[in-house]
Amino acid sequence: MEEAEIAPAIDSASENGDQSDARYALMVARSRASKGYGPYYVSQELASKGVARDLIKLTLASEEIDWEKALERASRSGSREPDASPSKEALVKLKAKLARRGF
């Protein structure tokens, strides 16, 4: 495809609703949240893909994304039984894990 053909094709896709940055951003945010990633992680990923900052803010504030559930998923440890009183070391590890996941 020639360069002169690309811009009109993109414009046509946008006009027809086939290409939408808002839909893309929401899809990525929901996908990452379902895998236990937080809003900071998602924000950085979307920004690296060229999504506008204003759209990222709107997407992260969407009620369609359950950040509480994402945090719960990210907080799970390897064991099935909850630790009644985690050690200081375990809390430090959990805090580091959550930071890496964007919380």
Letter string b/e over residues 24-57, b meaning 16 or more CB atoms within 10 A of that residue's CB: ebbebbbebbeebbbbebbbebbeeeebeeeebe
For residue range 11-26, list pLDDT tens digits in order.
776 677 667 899 999 9
Range among 1-10, 14-23, 37-46, 77-86 with highest mean pLDDT value: 37-46
Q: Is the pTM of this model over 0.85?
A: no
26 three-class SS: helix
Determine the pLDDT at residue 7: 73
